[in-house]
Structure 1
Amino acid sequence: MADTRDQNPAKQNRASKLLNEGLSRRSLLIGGGAGVGLLLAWAVWPRTYLPNLTADSGETLFGAWLKIGTDGHITVAVPQAELGQGVFTAFPQIVADELGAAWSAVGVEAAPLNPLYANALGAATLFEAALGGLSESLQRTHATRSALVLTGGSSSIRNFEETLRKAGAAARAMLCKAAARQWGVDWQACGTANGEVIHGNQKLRFGEIAAAAASEDVPNPLPMRGGEANRLYGQKVPRLDAPSKVDGSVNFAGDVRLENMVFASIRQGPVGTAGLAKIDEAAANKVLGMRAVVKTERWVAAVADNWWAADRAIDAMKPRFQVPGDVVNDDTIADALTAALDGEGKRIAETGDLAAQFKGARLVSAEYRVGLALHAPIEPMTCTANYADGRMSLWLPSQAPGLARAAAARAAGLSEDSVTVYPMMAGGSFGAKLEHAVAEQAAVIAKQIGRPVQLTWSRVEDFRHDCYRPAAAARMAGKLGPNKSLAGWLAKIAAPSAGRELSERLLGGDPLVAATLAVSGGDPSAVAGAIPAYAIPNYAVDHHPAAIGVPSGHWRSDAHSYTAFFNESFIDELAHVAESDAVTFRMAMLGSQPRLARCLQLAAQLGNWQGGAQGSGQGIACHSFRGSHIAVLAEARLGAGRKVKVERMVAVVDVGRVVNPDLVEQQIEGGLIFGMAAAIGGSTGFTDNVASVMDIADLNLPRLADMPDITVEIIRSDADPGGVGELGVPAVAPAIANALQAATGVRFRALPLLSDVE
């Protein structure tokens, strides 16, 4: 969709000239501060952005976030992708609460692309390697300037809650002013409830005065609602997206059907492919329904009357790709991690004098490994594209629709203004749908064949060309003091610089990103979550960058998924060496973390913690994540066939203020199951540059019969909202590993669990 910025042309031309003439990456490196200064000056150049939300007949717009119909219906615009996390309910709930609306009258629609919907916190989280060194205000300005509409990093509520509350409050004040004008009373004496403006016994429905209210001024300062009566915030209101998902009426990207549409299947080369070498096009043309072949240096697609025919045609082609001499397999990945640990690392965090503490001391040490993790959502990568009259339309689920639009435009040789993205519901993602390769491919195919086309990756393609949660390894060392308290801690973590890779891949054309990446050189996001939550007087965390030859991307909870495994497994080992109860050992070091300590203590109580005694099969772990805190108690054992059997999980969370308790509980439960799946499966090896896993059945995912008994307790809190969508994942794997140690007496130090056992 078109950029709606209201800009001064002279300033815009000057800024463009500065960016285009000499602010290449090379000039930034040579010019140093001068080049960066010009970029910063461009980033703070004054601009104004106008809403581009559209109103249907009988609707009145109230800014960029909501509109009210004459019948009283209220529609809230949501820029975030609905991935199952409930954002299509939480956002309207915040607005409706502040507005004083009746929940039965509230609806939702996807917001258009606009800088007003930029997610600065999400950008700072996802692209920490590129933007982490900038001030918070510059991060916010850059995200807005770049129209970074993003979903990810458990950032949606944290970033938008205040904006949504103000949108609801502004509309409420305008409605009260319009009603007060009719009644001849002070507007501040009016209130709202259940979709009506109220003054004593006088009432007016929102729809009756919406048109008149739109011309009222927004007061400054803006009064926010107070009190507990008639509030929607904190209530278990029904999900707005649930009915259509239950009855099947909701449209996902694969449901899109356009006149004269064809279907495409694609084949991309192995990791490290240098180019397409050979295809058997004649064999593909023998497939009934086959229409066309589209190929580039990196991939080849078959286009047919239906997807099944297209996929058969791709198989018949037997594509061959040129692969350079560097082979990627399980051994090379393991060797790369070992070499990185043996090499020099970059210190990310430290406190105290660890070297002095470790000198000549008897240390407790352990080494841990985690394998590549797949995203594996139910819905594979898919996009429908239509090119007509010089314009491209795309229908796809995307966590970054603006970036997808830009990438598709570049690939098809079009301007961004000529590309329109229609965001669709996503059938899961876990970070995968930040990537936009499928949008690029669909755009190229549609432009070349001149017909609407729906491109869907096969499950094999989805697995082989995932941007995986990277493999990682850690060497942990700790020193116990005379009273068996923890006196020193060293975490040496080998992992790819996944944050830099993601930033370069998705934001590589951004001059400010290129500049900051060139200057920073590090990637703290690769070891995010590794700084221990415990009061340890001397500690250090080192990142050892590892080049494993496999593409990596954003994955639910990112590095926290392995740093929590390293930390909470090792703290458990230290507790055993200290001959201390694992909960008591942790609690003694959580005096400065009362919210996390409360989660840990309550999880132990609810789970009937037995001290981690041998044979109990109980393990516990805790973790802090993006303003939220969690403790997980797991009960697990080795079942038949030496398979991990998780029988029970108890999770206690403190996520700050809760918009909707049902959504939080659903997300924590989903995160626990996701974390459990990653603990016992969900991984792939590599053989000759190709992922070994080819089907969901190969992932050893837990089935319904494998589900443990789950208890989720939400601690009431008035703190600012923290992240929820990813919170349930990190503490699960170490809790299960600790439980298996209590059940078997054996410490398992690799993920997936038992993968290091012959």
Structure 2
Amino acid sequence: MTRALRRQANRNGMGRGLDRRTLLVGAGAAGSLLLAWGAWPRTYRPNLNAAAGETVFNAFLKIDKAGRILVIVPQAETGQGVTTLLPQILADELGADWRTVGVQSAPVSPLYANTLLAREWLADDWSRLAGGAGEWAIGQYATRRALMLTGAGTSVPMFHTAYQEAGAAARVLLCKAAAARWDVPWESCDIQNGIITDGGRRTLKIGEVAAEAAELDLPDILPFRQGQADRLFGQDLPRLDTPSKIDGSHNFAADVRLPDMLFASIRQGPIGDALLTRVNEQAAKSVTGFSKLVRTDRWVAAVATNWWAANKALDLSDPVFELSGSPVSSAGIDAALEQAFSGSSGQRLYSRGDLKPLFDNATILASEFSVAPGLHLTLEPPCATARVGEGVAEIWMPAQAPALARTAIADALDMPEEQVVLYPLHAGGSFGRKMDFEVGVQAALIAREVGRPVQLLWSRLEDVIQDRPGAPAHARMAAKLGRNGAIEGWLAKVAAPCAMTQTWKRIADGKSPHEASRAAVDASTRLAVAGMELPYAMPNWAVDHFPADVGLPLGFTRGNAHLYGAFFTESFIDELAHLAGMEALSFRIQMLGGNPRLAHCLTTVGAMGGWQGGIEGSGQGLAVQAINGAYIAVMVEAAIDGNKLNVGRIIAAVDGGEQVNPDIARQQVESGLLFGLAMAMGASVPYAKGMPTRSVLSRMGLPRLQDIGEITVEMIRSTAPPAGLTDIGAPPVAPAIANALFTVTGQRFRQLPILSRT
């Protein structure tokens, strides 16, 4: 049990005797949970502030006298468009004029808990709970801890119904208020383009009756809008954040300016358990504008009147760290992954049929694959601004887990959580990196030490050294083909640490990066092999996970384990198709009879891209992937020019259900495709002696505009519920490229990045 959870339990009279073991063991684990949580508060009200003239309707909506619609969004905007998508759902059901819609970030509250992501993330840890209590328990845990999480494409699936109901409720109340003025049944009223009407005879603006509407009661059954006229859902509406990003008025973390503010840069030593041993403060004092060095056991920060001076002073101070244990190296990572296959912690996590009699004395195809750690490399390095005064601490920073960030900052400052105010900002990219929040804790400690507001910005070098990359992985794949070319048996053995387990131990359990890495050493979990549950119909198949201790702290990232899971699966499928003497598209289609949505994507992308059957010299490759109700097929045209990878075309067909804003959906898929391309081309570094061997972006092998040809995304019309699309585009790109390169080189590329860079 974390300090924050224990503190909350104590506040509610549960005492210090209750811990996680109490909840999980004993006679009836579910009963323990019911009894324990039954004592906690269970009613939550919106904790929104209302300015003069504003009326709070519910946790997701405020309306002012002028008729401005202020939609409250708890999810972190990292460029994926969530601050347009969620307001669009609400505005559609309300009947609002899109030109009057604005967005405000939500305060920390249990009402905004992302129970969907919490269940995906924590299901393995709670799987021993009796019966169906596990899902309920995780939902309660997430709600009562106010786990406001953004990630894994869960924002729209999680909050779609809530925003639809919030808009419908406001529309009914406004119609009731107008009907009372007109003395007509409220059912005869409606709202279109922000105007309340009783059928065309009389009209009122929303703002005119907002205050009185909020005092009325909702009917027992909440009616939703009928008909398709003037609907906002499904329209390519302009993003609400675009104008401010174009004119430069949009504030990111590094744009925050406070009176009397200082600037800070930081050094945290090599990767691992590193302690600061000495620093030359006298040399730092020679820099004009330098103010102070702030030291802890594990980092030192220089504070100055501008960031350049702070970073220069830090360079001159020449901090020295002492590293315990073996330093991280690429050779050590590879050795640890291979050693994991012979360890005792391996576990079969997916299984169908019986492979043993099938594989005994049979001829099988076997291949080995490897994926290097993938860096985040966001445009915006970690940054936070803090002001710590008497009885209150204020933090400005982007955060994918703001409630957990606030708890960590409060613990670091030894302050009650109620005295810590976190202002969530939009992020200049994240890809999962803003799930960690150490920069906010550091900024708060530095600000308290110097007694003035401080903005802490990590250098790009520090960002690369202290990144929590996606997990490295090795796979041993084996399969047996039948006489007709069908796959009769499939076995995937994957050695990989679980990055999501490590992330949770850092952000929720308060462990340091090296502690979290060690604590997750024996964690065999489906989170580490996500994406390897086959979409294909095979009679006998299994996936085994072997946890590994690679010594490198890892983190939440775009696609998470799907990135390497798709690479292993789709590359090996292509090898099997070649061995069976079948072209790759037909080979996949014959196994997708039970997955018509994915089959539709595959046939569509083949038709759009002019699939030539994977013939020698075509330079064409295919790959597919399914993630949480979203389906994609990708075809690429690629070649190697010298030691450089060229990708001329990327075509994707996506079935993501009924999308709120198709244009933003396409943006998300295109962004994912480029992220996957970066994973294939670079976005990784070798490690030696506890440090990355390069940190300059130009040496990462990242794709540039000149490296990217035509990108086409076809959104397949669907009436299925909307699925998140932020992750779906990334995983299939690398295997599609590897499969394409086989047709022009005759060589199989079984490692990521595809072309090694030293």
Normalising TM by the smaller chain, what interval?
Answer: over 0.9
Amino acid across the alignment from 2:592? L
> Residue 130 of structure 1 contacts residue 500 of structure 1 at CA under 8 Å; is this kept in 2?
no
In 2, Cα distance between the equivalents of 1:293 and 1:33? Answer: 54
Cα displacement string for residues 456-476 of structure 1 (whole angstroms, at most 9, x for unaligned residues): 110000000011101101000
Cα displacement string for residues 664-709 of structure 1 (whole angstroms, at most 9, x for unaligned residues): 0000011101100111110011110112231211211111111120
2:159 corresponding residue in structure 1:
160
Q: Helix, strand or coil for the counterpart of 2:125? A: helix
Q: CA shift at 1:325, angstroms?
A: 3.7
| Residue 173 of structure 2 is aligned to residue 174 of structure 1 | yes
In 1, Cα distance between the equivalents of 2:283 and 2:12? Answer: 53
Consecutive unaligned residues of structure 2, counting only runs of 5 or more, are 1-6
In 2, Cα distance between the equivalents of 1:256 and 1:706? Answer: 35
The residue correspondences of 1:654-673 to structure 2 (distance < 5 A) are: 654-673=655-674
> Residue 44 of structure 2 contacts residue 111 of structure 2 at CA under 8 Å; is this kept in 1?
yes
1:68 corresponding residue in structure 2:
63
Q: CA shift at 1:296, angstroms?
A: 0.7
Query: Which one of the candidate residues 573, 590, 607 is aligned to 1:605?
Result: 607
Change over 3 Å in CA distance of 1:116–1:375 after alignment to 2: same
Change over 3 Å in CA distance of 1:12–1:491 after alignment to 2: closer
In 2, Cα distance between the equivalents of 1:248 and 1:624? Answer: 37
Change over 3 Å in CA distance of 1:150–1:368 after alignment to 2: same
Q: Helix, strand or coil for the counterpart of 2:273? A: coil
The residue correspondences of 1:413-492 to structure 2 (distance < 5 A) are: 413-492=414-493
1:23 corresponding residue in structure 2:
19
Q: CA shift at 1:180, angstroms?
A: 1.0
Change over 3 Å in CA distance of 1:327–1:654 after alignment to 2: same
In 1, Cα distance between the equivalents of 2:14 and 2:69? Answer: 44
In 2, Cα distance between the equivalents of 1:306 and 1:599? Answer: 52
Q: CA shift at 1:28, angstroms?
A: 7.3
Query: Which one of the candidate residues 98, 104, 119 is aligned to 1:103?
Result: 98
Change over 3 Å in CA distance of 1:381–1:129 after alignment to 2: farther
> Residue 471 of structure 2 contacts residue 498 of structure 2 at CA under 8 Å; is this kept in 1?
no
Query: Which one of the candidate residues 81, 99, 103 is aligned to 2:76?
Result: 81
| Residue 139 of structure 2 is aligned to residue 145 of structure 1 | no
The residue correspondences of 1:44-63 to structure 2 (distance < 5 A) are: 44=38, 45=40, 47-63=42-58
2:571 corresponding residue in structure 1:
569
What TM-score do the two structures reach when normalised by structure 2? 0.95
1:703 corresponding residue in structure 2:
704
| Residue 536 of structure 2 is aligned to residue 534 of structure 1 | yes
Q: Helix, strand or coil for the counterpart of 2:475? A: strand
1:270 corresponding residue in structure 2:
270
| Residue 310 of structure 2 is aligned to residue 310 of structure 1 | yes
User: How many pairs does the alignment contain?
Assistant: 739
In 1, Cα distance between the equivalents of 2:35 and 2:26? Answer: 15
Cα displacement string for residues 265-300 of structure 1 (whole angstroms, at most 9, x for unaligned residues): 000011223411111111111111110111111101
The residue correspondences of 1:604-623 to structure 2 (distance < 5 A) are: 604-623=606-625
> Residue 333 of structure 1 contacts residue 549 of structure 1 at CA under 8 Å; is this kept in 2?
yes
Cα displacement string for residues 416-463 of structure 1 (whole angstroms, at most 9, x for unaligned residues): 111100011100000000101111111111111111000011000000
> Residue 432 of structure 1 contacts residue 555 of structure 1 at CA under 8 Å; is this kept in 2?
yes
Q: CA shift at 1:412, angstroms?
A: 1.6
Q: Helix, strand or coil for the counterpart of 2:593? A: coil
| Residue 384 of structure 2 is aligned to residue 404 of structure 1 | no
> Residue 114 of structure 1 contacts residue 147 of structure 1 at CA under 8 Å; is this kept in 2?
yes
Change over 3 Å in CA distance of 1:476–1:143 after alignment to 2: same
Alpha carbon RMSD of aligned pairs, Å? 2.1
| Residue 503 of structure 2 is aligned to residue 502 of structure 1 | yes
In 2, Cα distance between the equivalents of 1:736 and 1:132? Answer: 37
Q: CA shift at 1:124, angstroms?
A: 2.3
In 1, Cα distance between the equivalents of 2:608 and 2:266? Answer: 50
Q: CA shift at 1:131, angstroms?
A: 4.9
2:396 corresponding residue in structure 1:
395
> Residue 397 of structure 1 contacts residue 426 of structure 1 at CA under 8 Å; is this kept in 2?
yes
Cα displacement string for residues 358-385 of structure 1 (whole angstroms, at most 9, x for unaligned residues): 1111001100000011000000000000
Q: Helix, strand or coil for the counterpart of 2:502? A: helix
> Residue 633 of structure 1 contacts residue 650 of structure 1 at CA under 8 Å; is this kept in 2?
yes
2:244 corresponding residue in structure 1:
244
> Residue 478 of structure 1 contacts residue 487 of structure 1 at CA under 8 Å; is this kept in 2?
yes
Q: CA shift at 1:737, angstroms?
A: 0.6
In 2, Cα distance between the equivalents of 1:152 and 1:164? Answer: 18
2:4 corresponding residue in structure 1:
none
In 2, Cα distance between the equivalents of 1:672 and 1:476? Answer: 25
Change over 3 Å in CA distance of 1:635–1:599 after alignment to 2: same
| Residue 178 of structure 2 is aligned to residue 183 of structure 1 | no
1:685 corresponding residue in structure 2:
686
Amino acid across the alignment from 1:538? N
> Residue 523 of structure 2 contacts residue 547 of structure 2 at CA under 8 Å; is this kept in 1?
no
In 2, Cα distance between the equivalents of 1:296 and 1:13? Answer: 30
Consecutive unaligned residues of structure 1, counting only runs of 5 or more, are 1-8
1:754 corresponding residue in structure 2:
755
In 2, Cα distance between the equivalents of 1:17 and 1:228? Answer: 52
Q: CA shift at 1:340, angstroms?
A: 1.0
Q: Between the two proteins, what is the percent identity of the paired residues?
A: 50
Q: CA shift at 1:522, angstroms?
A: 3.1
In 1, Cα distance between the equivalents of 2:743 and 2:722? Answer: 35
Change over 3 Å in CA distance of 1:37–1:295 after alignment to 2: farther
